[in-house]
Amino acid sequence: TRRILLDCDPGHDDAIAILLAAGDPGVEIAAITTVSGNQSIEKVTRNALAIAELAGLDPTVPIARGAHRPLLHEVEYAPEYHGESGLDGPQLPEPTRALDSRHGVQLIIDTIMGSEPGEITLVPTGALTNVALAVRLEQRIVERVREVIFMGGGVHVGNHGPFSEFNIAIDPEAAQIVIGAGWPITMVGLDATHQAVVTPEIRAKLDAVGTRSSAFVGGLLDFYGAAYAGHGFAHPPVHDPVTVAMVIDPTLVRAVKAPLAVELTGTLTKGMTVADLREPAPESTPTSVALGVENERFWDLVVAALSRLP
């Protein structure tokens, strides 16, 4: 089993990422940290605790609140996709577990430094603020993690701007710190996640699971699907769990090695992730870019995970 740290801003798709990780035997959640993004840090942190409750996550797994705003940019949320609560739609269970008293950035550092070298895989599914701060506070984490697999960015595709994706656009400086840190890192961007869609057939499979967790995911997808329909998507893409699926089974995702950086000064393209897809990429390139995902097999993992959960 791969041990992962989820750094997230739940968020409908973040919630599904947590549930996939909690229900799949191939991964073990070492810790969860939250970051300002889809909603305020207070809201997304409460949501993370509620999802942990729903999933029956081991109460010894620490959950900590992270950064309350981006490094330089003004704070920005995504109520048009995630509602005022950050998880609009289904009724959330009341969290009974307590937050870890550490700052999320400290929990990231402690989790990595307290594990064996190469043990922890970092899986960020929100803005990269916490991870950037962790890199600056304790640079030894860069050597010590196994790899970083994050949701964000895209190649010539955007959802926040024409060429920028939300997680990168709201904190581009943090994203550049993380992408340029030198550790092995894979960008799971919109090229892949726009293929991870909920078709009516997949929705039927999810509904047939019949657990409390699958009913909850159904409620999430009702709200989230309607929000995406308003943006021209026939079927809503769930971005964040593709990262977890890639940890579980890398063959689900088509990824290529490519030099990668964030545009920080463009007047029209700030927050764009610039991948150099010219071949061959230098052997030493630490950055990879996901370009596609096998949707059916991806959902098979989610369905199986939901059937193992309460």
Q: Which residues are known catalytic residues?
A: 239
What does the DSSP assignment read for 260-295?
Answer: EEE-SS-TTTTT-EEE---SSPPTT--EEEEEEE-H
User: Which residues are within 8 A (CB) of 46 and not within 5 positions of it... i.e. 6 or more apart?
Assistant: 95
| End-to-end Cα separation, the chain, in angstroms | 21
CA distances from 267 to 122, 165, 252 (A): 31, 16, 36
Which of these segments, 50-58, 109-117, 237-245, 292-300, binds Ca ion (CB under 5 A)? 237-245
- Tell me whether residue 78 or residue 135 sits nearer to ligand BDR (CB atom): 78
The 10 Å Cβ neighbour count of residue 32 is 30
* Cβ 92 vs Cβ 150: under 8 Å: no
CB of 150 to ligand BDR, least distance (A): 9
Q: Which does 166 bind (CB under 5 to 8 A by kind): ligand BDR, Ca ion, none?
A: ligand BDR
Report the C-alpha gap between 147 and 120 in whole angstroms: 8
Which of these segments, 14-22, 49-57, 67-75, 95-103, binds Ca ion (CB under 5 A)? 14-22
Q: Which does 164 bind (CB under 5 to 8 A by kind): Ca ion, ligand BDR, none?
A: none
Nearest to 213 by CA among 101, 86, 51, 70: 51
Question: Which x/- pattern over 221-260 shows residues binding ligand BDR (rule: CB under 6 A)?
Answer: ------------------xx--------------------
Report the C-alpha gap between 200 and 7 in whole angstroms: 30
- 11 in contact with ligand BDR (CB under 6 A): yes
Identity of residue 69: R
CB of 156 to ligand BDR, least distance (A): 15
CB of 13 to ligand BDR, least distance (A): 5
CB of 145 to Ca ion, least distance (A): 20
- Exposed e or buried b per residue across 279-298, where buried means at least 16 C-beta atoms within 10 angstroms of its C-beta: eebeeeebbbbbbebbbeeb
Q: Which two three-digit tokens encode residue 252?
A: 């689900």
Binding to Ca ion (CB under 5 A) within 137-196 occurs at none
Which of these segments, 8-16, 73-81, 113-121, 268-276, binds Ca ion (CB under 5 A)? 8-16
CB of 127 to Ca ion, least distance (A): 8
Helix (H) or strand (E) holding 147: strand 147-151
CB of 29 to Ca ion, least distance (A): 16
- Tell me whether residue 36 or residue 111 sits nearer to ligand BDR (CB atom): 36
Which of these segments, 91-99, 108-116, 224-232, 240-248, binds Ca ion (CB under 5 A)? 240-248
Report the C-alpha gap between 98 and 53 in whole angstroms: 11
Report the C-alpha gap between 145 and 46 in whole angstroms: 27
Q: Which two three-digit tokens encode residue 147?
A: 């790899």
- 7 in contact with ligand BDR (CB under 6 A): no
Nearest to 22 by CA among 49, 46, 51, 50: 51
Binding to Ca ion (CB under 5 A) within 260-279 occurs at none
- Tell me whether residue 126 or residue 286 sits nearer to Ca ion (CB atom): 126
Tokens 């581009």: give the residue. 172
Residue nearest to ligand BDR (CB): 166
Which of these segments, 96-104, 165-173, 174-182, 301-309, binds ligand BDR (CB under 6 A)? 165-173
Q: What is the DSSP letter of 26?
A: T
- 7 in contact with Ca ion (CB under 5 A): no
- Tell me whether residue 183 or residue 228 sits nearer to ligand BDR (CB atom): 228
Residues that bind Ca ion (CB under 5 A): 9, 11, 14, 125-126, 240
